């Protein structure tokens, strides 16, 4: 503003221009310009609040309790305008009532911690906002924490003792002598016979969310699958599109969704396996994995990686599209880690069945899965499913069934198939000893109106070795007498009255 100073000499000095002096009577302010009163405050006519308040308004006076905009401000008149704030000085000063809402320049943007959405873009992590992002997963830190067990974190706590899990597993040294509570049928059976009292469950071991190329969060996916009446589901987003934080969030959400005996949730990831030149060898799921491992290139590195991950199970995804892993070239190092081959994806049932049998002929000890590979909000809505036979509905129970190759692939998520040798040895068994055997196959549908047309027994080349009609009944039991004269394996398949199919895991015979 322009400030007038009344001098003792009676001369008024204005701060404008070069300090020009205006003559006036001593003690009197200058008179108004001739233009004053025309409604326009014109500096060219020497109109200011002092000389022409009619046009320019009254001058502000510091201390009058009113902070006049454009005239007074906090630095010159804190009495009227208040003390100047500290916002913008680079320090978030709580004493000056600065926070993310009042001064984001100093305090940063506000996050929405507590809104049930883990927003990584706003800096929310399990460390910064456990309320939204969940408690950080301690698994993998080298210590077996109080909330960790051998079944939830084998990495920290070591493997669980298999004896007492209801499965007589010779691969783990169990027999009627070392573990009688699991091997209840006695010692009069072939070596390698897996026995147990198992129940069928249906689920999905291949699904995606917005953590890669799908929709919504794993929590929403688990809720949808449970509402769709699945017994279990694993979210397996693409590892290359998923952050480390998202991997931790998925596991936290899976823990929250799991209620043993009701619904089991888990997380794995899918990797596109490439050659060094970038050609695709196939898509691959790491299941029952506790941490993210570097994506391997080439088949030797892939199979070494899955073999080195002690809790892991490998699954070939939707072969032969985009490829079938060099026609399932066999790598002995991964024999005990490779367990599943999918029937879902592009191609007919006959194509998928041929791929399954081709992998078996190469020497792989795998069993079938029929997953959904969801990329939309339809987890569990399809009638297809992966079935397992296990002693309990828990993560440990699902993993035990998958590793034990007690799985089946079905186009009807209420249908199941099981096969036993010698009445007690479950599908998935590697039996030592040739000679006569009886293979018993039971096909069953939980819906009474869904019967079966027939059950067939398949050999290694896919040839139909035997067949028995079912007269549209459920359950349907077939018994096939076989004389085993050399190393071989058998697979059973049931065809329902409506044409839906369900296929079993193999039983292997070796000298």
Q: Which residues pair with 452 in a beta bridge?
A: 473, 496
pLDDT at 71: 62
Q: Which of 443, 360, 401, 333 is nearest to 194 (CA)?
A: 401
Helix (DSSP H) and strand (DSSP E) numbers for the chain: 11, 22
Backbone angles phi, psi at 490, to 5 degrees: -130, 145
**Tens of pLDDT, residues 480-492:** 999 999 999 999 9
Query: Which of 182-186, 269-273, 400-404 shows the lowest per-residue confidence on average (mean pLDDT)?
Result: 182-186
**Region 232-239: what's the mean pLDDT?**
98
Q: DSSP string spanning 442-467? A: EEEESSTT--EEEEEEE-TTS-EEEE
**97, pLDDT greater than 90:** no
Task: Quickly tell me which residue has 């308040």 as its tokens.
Answer: 53
Q: Which residues pair with 14 in a beta bridge?
A: 4
**Tens of pLDDT, residues 340-356:** 999 999 999 999 999 99
pLDDT at 296: 94
Query: Which of 31-40, 263-272, 458-467 shows the lowest per-residue confidence on average (mean pLDDT)?
Result: 31-40
pLDDT at 185: 53
**Tens of pLDDT, residues 15-32:** 444 444 444 444 455 678
pLDDT at 69: 64
Return the structure tokens found at 82.
């208040």
Residue 176 pLDDT grade (very low, low, confident, very high; cuts 50, 70, 90): low
Pairing assessment for the beta strands 4-6 and 452-458 based on DSSP bridges: unpaired
Instruction: Specify the DSSP element, H or E, that contains 489.
Output: strand 488-496
Q: What distance lies between CA 340 and its chain's CA centroid?
A: 20
**Region 496-509: what's the mean pLDDT?**
98
**288, pLDDT greater than 80:** yes
pLDDT at 88: 76
Superfamily in which the 199-510 domain is placed by CATH: Metal-dependent hydrolases (3.20.20.140)
The domain limits of the chain are 1-82, 118-160, 164-194, 199-510
**8, pLDDT greater than 60:** no
């Amino acid at each position: 503003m322009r400030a007038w100073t009344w001098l003792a000499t009676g001369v008024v000095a204005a701060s404008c221009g070069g300090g020009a002096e205006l003559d006036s009577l001593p003690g009197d302010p200058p008179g108004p310009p001739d233009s004053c009163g025309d409604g326009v405050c014109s500096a060219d006519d020497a109109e200011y609040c002092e000389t022409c308040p009619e046009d320019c308004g009254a001058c502000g006076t510091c201390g009058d309790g009113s902070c006049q905009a454009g005239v007074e401000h906090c630095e010159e008149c804190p009495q009227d305008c208040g003390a100047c704030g500290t916002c913008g000085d680079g320090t978030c000063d709580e004493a000056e009532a600065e926070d993310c809402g009042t001064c984001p320049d100093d305090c940063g943007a506000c996050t929405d911690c507590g809104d049930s959405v883990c927003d990584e873009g706003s800096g929310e992590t399990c460390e910064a906002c456990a309320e939204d992002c969940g408690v950080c997963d301690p698994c993998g830190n080298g210590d077996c924490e109080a909330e960790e067990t051998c079944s939830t974190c084998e990495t920290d706590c070591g493997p669980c003792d298999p004896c007492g899990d209801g499965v007589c597993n010779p691969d783990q040294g169990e027999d009627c002598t070392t573990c009688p509570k699991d091997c209840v049928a006695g010692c009069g059976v072939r070596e390698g016979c897996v026995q147990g009292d198992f129940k069928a469950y249906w689920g999905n071991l291949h699904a995606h969310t917005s953590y890669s190329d799908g929709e919504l969060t794993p929590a929403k996916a688990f809720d949808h699958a449970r509402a769709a009446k699945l017994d279990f589901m694993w979210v397996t987003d693409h590892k290359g599109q998923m952050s480390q934080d998202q991997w931790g969030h998925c596991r936290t959400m899976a823990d929250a969704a799991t209620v043993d005996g009701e619904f089991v949730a888990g997380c794995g990831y899918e990797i596109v396996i490439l050659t060094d030149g970038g050609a695709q060898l196939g898509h691959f799921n790491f299941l029952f994995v506790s941490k993210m491992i570097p994506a391997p290139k080439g088949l030797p590195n892939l199979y070494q990686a899955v073999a080195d991950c002690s809790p892991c199970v490998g699954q070939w995804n939707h072969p032969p599209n985009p490829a079938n892993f060099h026609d399932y070239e066999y790598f002995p190092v991964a024999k005990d880690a490779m367990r599943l081959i999918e029937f879902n994806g592009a191609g007919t049932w006959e194509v998928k069945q041929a791929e399954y049998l081709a992998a078996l002929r190469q020497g792989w000890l795998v069993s079938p899965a029929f997953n959904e590979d969801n990329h939309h909000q339809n987890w569990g809505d399809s009638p297809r499913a992966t079935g397992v036979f296990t002693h309990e509905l828990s993560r440990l129970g699902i993993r035990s069934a998958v590793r034990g190759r007690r799985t089946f692939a079905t186009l009807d998520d209420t249908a199941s198939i099981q096969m036993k040798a010698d009445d007690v040895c479950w599908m998935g068994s590697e039996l030592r000893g040739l000679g006569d055997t009886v293979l018993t196959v039971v096909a069953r549908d939980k819906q009474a109106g869904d019967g079966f047309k027939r059950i067939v027994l398949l050999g290694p080349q896919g040839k139909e070795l035997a067949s028995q009609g079912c007269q549209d009944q459920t359950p349907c039991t077939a018994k096939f007498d076989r004389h085993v004269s050399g190393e071989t394996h058998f697979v059973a398949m049931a065809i329902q009255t409506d044409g839906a199919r369900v296929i079993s895991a193999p039983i292997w015979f070796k000298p």
